[in-house]
Amino acid sequence: VNQGRSQTDNATNGRKGLVQYYDQLANHYDESRFATSYGRYLDAQERRVLRRWLSPFQGGTILDLACGTGRLLDLATHGIDASESMIHLARHKHPHKQLRCIEAGRITELPTSFDAIFCLHFFMHLRPAQIADVISITLSRLRPGGVLIFDVPSSQRRNLTGFRPGGWHAGTALNCPDVRALAGHRWLFKAMHGVLFFPIHRFPEKIRPFVRPLDDLLGASALARISSYVLYCLERRT
Ligand SMILES: C[S@@+](CC[C@H](N)C(=O)[O-])C[C@H]1O[C@@H](n2cnc3c(N)ncnc32)[C@H](O)[C@@H]1O
């Protein structure tokens, strides 16, 4: 029992630590993560995939889960995030979106059900069992036929490169069979797409925009699974 309790305490402390980290980072998040040439490259790649996968749901309800400062909220109608500071900035940027400061586990309290839910740069912070919990919770808020889109660092890529980040920050990496196993049988596996196939941080800034179309193509090929991050699209079975 004690071991069970200490695991629960660790998970709660881990969650609080993660939210505190983003509370403190909020004012610098956009500038440090996505205003750089690397950040713009990744943002453009992710948007391209999101736009395509969300296109059947235009005019519907779309939730950006862990929306942060609202980087991708132009593609959603609703957003939630556990950090007050991050969502404060999101509200400022997107005053007409429906935004709530709640934990992912509390989306069952939202009065809306969604045609699509997307969740970027969040699962990398969670342990596999926590990812399975979040995936399972989203199922209850999605309409039948609705989709869940998320990204996870590729474990196959990390095996190839030997890159092993320490701690919780981007500590989790998965492969496609892991994702299928975590999601379980209530989902239809619709699509996957890789981003950052190239180690773009090693390329001179000037050539990065010219490399991106090839990176996009490789992300749609069988090599997707060894891109740095893989986006997945799961459909709720009816
Ligand atoms: C790397 S940011 C990603 C933000 C945004 N999705 C993006 O791609 O720019 C991770 C976000 O997860 C949020 N977060 C952390 N734990 C959370 C939880 N338990 N429930 C909801 N959001 C959480 C953080 O506050 C932070 O805004």
Could you report the average pLDDT of every consecutive run of 10 residues in the chain (238 residues)? 51 77 95 94 98 98 98 98 98 98 96 97 94 96 97 96 74 95 96 97 95 98 97 95
Pick the atom of ligand 1 nearest to 104's CA.
20
CA distance 22 to 139: 26
- Cα of 67 to ligand 1 centre, how many Å? 6
> Whose C-alpha lies nearest to ligand 1, atom 12?
66
pTM summary value? 0.93
Which residue among 71, 83, 172, 231 has the greatest number of ligand 1 atoms within 8 angstroms of its CB, and so is best to mutate?
Answer: 83
So what's the pLDDT on residue 9? 53
Q: Which of 67, 88, 183 has its CA nearest to residue 131?
A: 183
- Cα of 220 to ligand 1 centre, how many Å? 26
Q: Which residues line ligand 1 (CB under 6 A)?
A: 15, 18-19, 22, 66-68, 71-72, 81-83, 86, 103-104, 120-122
Which residue among 81, 87, 88, 118 has the greatest number of ligand 1 atoms within 8 angstroms of its CB, and so is best to mutate?
Answer: 81
Distances (CA, A) of 174 to 57, 63, 183: 27, 23, 12
- Cα of 82 to ligand 1 centre, how many Å? 7
Q: 1: how many CB neighbours lie within 10 A of its CB? A: 5
Distances (CA, A) of 63 to 80, 127, 138, 166, 211: 8, 22, 10, 30, 31
So what's the pLDDT on residue 1? 42
What is the residue type of 139?
L
